[in-house]
């Protein structure tokens, strides 16, 4: 299963970007987890709560898909580091 990671905070179009990636991964035969969609129901959540939820989803996967601009996100950098520590396969958006 592939976890989608990328910049959310300060990004206006993140829902569209994550959804597009999810669709493309599914079209290629992957099962994808879109944390932007899953976490969208947490209206009053703190950053820490979002990250806890996201890390739990990441643990369910064995691959991570890094959206363009991930380097500018503290959360995406942490997700990538965790994925690397667990020897996940890493895919970078073209």
Q: Which residue has the higher pLDDT, 40 or 2?
A: 2
The CB-based long-range contact list for 81-85 (8 Å cut-off, 24+ gap) reads: 82/55, 82/58, 83/3, 83/5, 83/58
16-67 pLDDT, tens digit per residue, is 999 999 999 999 999 999 999 998 888 888 999 999 999 999 999 999 999 9
- Looking at residue 41, its pLDDT comes to 83
Q: How many Cα neighbours within 13 Å face the side chain of 35?
A: 29
Q: Which domains does the chain have, with CATH numbers?
A: 2-92 (3.40.50.450)
pLDDT at 24: 97
In the β-sheet with 63-66, what is the strand arrangement from edge to edge?
A: 32-33, 2-5, 63-66, 89-92
The predicted structure's pLDDT at residue 40: 86
């Amino acid at each position: 299963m592939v976890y989608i990671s990328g910049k959310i905070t300060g990004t206006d179009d993140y829902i569209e970007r994550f959804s597009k990636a999810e669709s493309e991964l599914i079209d290629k035969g992957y099962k994808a987890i879109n944390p932007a969609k899953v976490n969208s129901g947490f209206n009053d959540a703190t950053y820490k709560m979002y990250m806890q939820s996201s890390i739990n989803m990441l643990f369910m996967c064995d691959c991570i898909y890094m959206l363009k601009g991930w380097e500018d996100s503290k959360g995406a950098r942490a997700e990538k580091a965790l994925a690397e520590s667990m020897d996940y396969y890493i895919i970078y958006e073209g």
